[in-house]
């Protein structure tokens, strides 16, 4: 079993840098405009020839209310009529993509994200799932991982019943914080009772897994208040829990301009919140998977980490990293073989392009041999906190020490500081380095410089 986290405030202060979350390598910051629909269709043909299993991501951008902290691609509107034109273009995209895959390629993983996917009416959700089943090989035996993000204010028992009937078996609930003063400061009023009702519905309807998202570092938060939120959430016993660091980047995300920087907790209070939360979750039996994610020991992510099969993609930690990922909808990202591609992030442009019968692929990149090697290194470290040089050398035909000779002094410094163990066989992230694994991964990122780094949140 992996060792628990060791809290070392001095190391955290020294290595708490801004940097990527590595849901991909290279990261989306490196995407360029030379990738278009032809590249995507070519990659899909290769996927079909290889018979690789698939993962689908469907982006529903609409929200009825704005949450000031949000950095997602979203459209804020109370006009439910906006959903249908979008749905029609999404269906067109599904039809085009489906021509280039084989009906025998199973959809092992499906995820509806947003926005608020349940902004769609029950009839629209039925229609979309029917269209997906018609064009893709969705599994009918409940063996796939089919998940959807839920805003508990936008769902009830009947919604949960519909989602279970449509084949969803995992839910992820946005909560962020239960304190009313914090909720008012971020414009997201949501009671514990609303959240509990959805969790109870998920349990009764036999959803396989419930994930809850929390954020520390929001305006008006204090260590004492946030500890109460964490305790209330632990009492609900979610299978997984995400504890995200709020990154205040108002110059990039307009809604965050409504948050006063004076209301944000101090760096010391943020650290205190994180430390206390980790202690609370550990006492309650949760395992630290990595990168803000916790899971109960019998959860699939925890088991996959134990068995060395955990992976990471644009949906975060996953047991389906071997699948080719097809992103559908505005701003959605696909990862197919060595191609990353992203749809247009502007909803008007996305709908117009598909209205003309064209895919809305706008940007992306092809991974080269160096990208593949570094991606494998980062994936191992971020998922398993260890790396055997022989595995990389065998797969990629390099001598690790020679290939990364320029990094060696920095790796030796990390070892001297107690973040990692380093020897001729490999790297192991020590308990004091687990919270800072992003800082280790950044050493292997060929594209990272100070200008690029400014676009990311800090590690802690």
Residue 188 assigned ligand-binding role? yes
Query: Residue 421 and residue 3: Cα distance in Å, rounded?
Result: 14
Query: Residue 286 and residue 234: Cα distance in Å, rounded?
Result: 9
Query: Residue 55 and residue 47: Cα distance in Å, rounded?
Result: 12
Query: Residue 122 and residue 137: Cα distance in Å, rounded?
Result: 22
* 256 Cβ neighbours under 8 A, 6+ residues apart: 68, 69, 71, 248, 249, 250
Residue 285 assigned ligand-binding role? no
Residue 116 assigned ligand-binding role? yes
Residue 406 assigned ligand-binding role? no
Cβ–Cβ under 8 Å, residues 299 and 242: no
Query: Residue 311 and residue 438: Cα distance in Å, rounded?
Result: 15
417 class by beta-carbon count within 10 Å (0-12 exposed, 13-18 middle, 19+ buried) = middle
Residue 16 assigned ligand-binding role? no
Residue 72 assigned ligand-binding role? no
* Tokens 């490999």 sit on residue: 426
Residue 441 assigned ligand-binding role? no
Longest distance between any two alpha carbons in the chain, whole Å: 62
Tokens of 148: 């959807």
Cβ–Cβ under 8 Å, residues 45 and 97: no
Residue 333 assigned ligand-binding role? yes
Residue 69 assigned ligand-binding role? yes
β-bridge mates for residue 288, sequence order: 294
Residue 397 assigned ligand-binding role? no
Residue 420 assigned ligand-binding role? no
Query: Residue 282 and residue 277: Cα distance in Å, rounded?
Result: 8
Cβ–Cβ under 8 Å, residues 43 and 365: no
Annotated binding site for S-adenosyl-L-methionine: 57, 69-71, 114-116, 149, 176, 188, 213, 247, 333
Annotated binding site for [4Fe-4S] cluster: 63, 67, 70
Annotated binding site: 57, 63, 67, 69-71, 114-116, 149, 176, 188, 213, 247, 333
């Amino acid at each position: 079993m992996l060792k628990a986290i060791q809290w070392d405030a001095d190391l955290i202060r020294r290595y708490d840098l801004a940097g990527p979350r590595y849901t991909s390598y290279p990261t989306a910051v490196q995407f360029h405009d030379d990738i278009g629909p032809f590249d995507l269709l070519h990659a899909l043909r290769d996927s079909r020839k290889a018979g690789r299993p698939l993962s689908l991501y469907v982006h529903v951008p609409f929200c009825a209310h704005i949450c000031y902290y949000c950095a997602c691609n979203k459209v804020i509107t109370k006009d439910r009529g906006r959903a249908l034109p979008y749905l029609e273009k999404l269906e067109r995209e599904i039809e085009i993509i489906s021509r280039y895959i084989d009906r025998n390629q199973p959809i092992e993983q499906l995820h509806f994200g947003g926005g608020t996917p349940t902004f769609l009416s029950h009839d629209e959700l039925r229609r979309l799932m029917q269209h997906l089943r018609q064009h893709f090989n969705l599994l009918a035996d409940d063996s796939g991982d089919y998940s959807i993000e839920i805003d508990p204010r936008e769902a009830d028992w009947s919604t949960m019943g519909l989602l279970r009937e449509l084949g969803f078996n995992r839910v992820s609930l946005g909560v962020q914080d239960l304190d009313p003063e914090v909720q008012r400061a971020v414009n997201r009023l949501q009671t514990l009772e609303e959240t509990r009702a959805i969790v109870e519905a998920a349990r009764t309807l036999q959803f396989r897994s419930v994930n809850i998202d929390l954020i520390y570092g929001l305006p008006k938060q204090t260590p004492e208040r946030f500890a109460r939120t964490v305790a209330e959430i632990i009492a609900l016993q979610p299978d997984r829990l995400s504890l995200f660091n709020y990154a205040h980047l108002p110059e990039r995300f307009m809604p965050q301009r409504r948050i006063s920087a004076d209301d944000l907790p101090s760096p010391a209070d943020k650290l205190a919140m994180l430390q206390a939360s980790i202690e609370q979750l550990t006492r309650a039996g949760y395992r630290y998977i990595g990168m803000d994610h916790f899971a109960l020991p019998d959860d699939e992510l925890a088991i996959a980490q134990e068995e060395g099969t955990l992976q990471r993609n644009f949906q975060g930690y996953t047991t389906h990293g071997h699948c080719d990922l097809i992103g559908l909808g505005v701003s959605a990202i696909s990862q197919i073989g060595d191609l990353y591609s992203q749809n247009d992030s502007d909803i008007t442009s996305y709908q117009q392009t598909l209205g003309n019968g064209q895919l809305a692929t706008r940007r992306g990149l092809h991974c080269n041999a160096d990208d593949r090697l570094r991606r494998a290194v980062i994936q191992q470290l971020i998922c398993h906190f260890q790396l055997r040089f022989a595995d990389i050398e065998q797969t990629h035909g390099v001598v690790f020490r020679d290939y990364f000779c320029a990094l060696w002094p920095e790796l030796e410094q990390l070892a001297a500081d107690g973040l990692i163990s380093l020897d001729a066989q490999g790297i192991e992230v020590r308990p004091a380095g687990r919270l800072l694994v992003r800082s280790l991964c950044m050493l292997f990122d060929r594209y990272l410089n100070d200008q690029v780094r400014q676009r990311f949140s800090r590690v802690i």
